[in-house]
Amino acid sequence: ELKVEQNPLFLSMQEEKNYTIYCNYSTTSDRLYWYRQDPGKSLESLFVLLSNGAVKQEGRLMASLDTKARLSTLHITAAVHDLSATYFCAPEETSGSRLTFGEGTQLTVNP
């Protein structure tokens, strides 16, 4: 059974600061997805990481995947208030088609 741990679960940071969210998972997975959820809203896809060493960047967010270490990171550069949301990682089971979600990291960016 695939288990996923995100840390931290809560992150309060100041604007213009950098920080990293970590996503560890327990069994082999070659693909991993990151989602964003605003309060009371649905999930929005951020990144799809398809192989070991994959790195994707969009604006102030950069995600990476190390399948050997079973670790993905979401790095935030020079945070702005608009990035305040909950971020979920979700590795895909090796059988395909199913994702297992982490608990989420609730990010608050303070002015």
Partner 1 sequence: NAGVTQTPKFRVLKTGQSMTLLCAQDMNHEYMYWYRQDPGMGLRLIHYSVGEGTTAKGEVPDGYNVSRLKKQNFLLGLESAAPSQTSVYFCASSYFSEPQETQYFGPGTRLLVL
Please select the residue that binds partner 1; options are 7, 22, 24, 43, rule is CB under 8 A: 43
91 touching partner 1, by CB under 8 A: no
By CB under 8 A, is residue 99 in contact with partner 1? yes
- Answer yes or no whether residue 76 interacts with partner 1 by CB under 8 A: no
Type of residue numbered 30: D
98 binds partner 1 (CB under 8 A): yes
| Interface with partner 1 (CB under 8 A), residue from 48, 62, 71, 80 | 48
Beta bridge partners of 92: 99
**Residue 19 one-letter amino acid:** Y
DSSP secondary structure letters along 44-75: EEEEEE-STT-EEEETTEEEEEETTTTEEEEE
Distance from C-alpha of 69 to C-alpha of 78, rounded to nearest angstrom: 27
Q: Which residues make up the interface to partner 1 (CB under 8 A)?
A: 4, 31, 33, 35, 41-45, 48, 50, 88, 90, 97-104
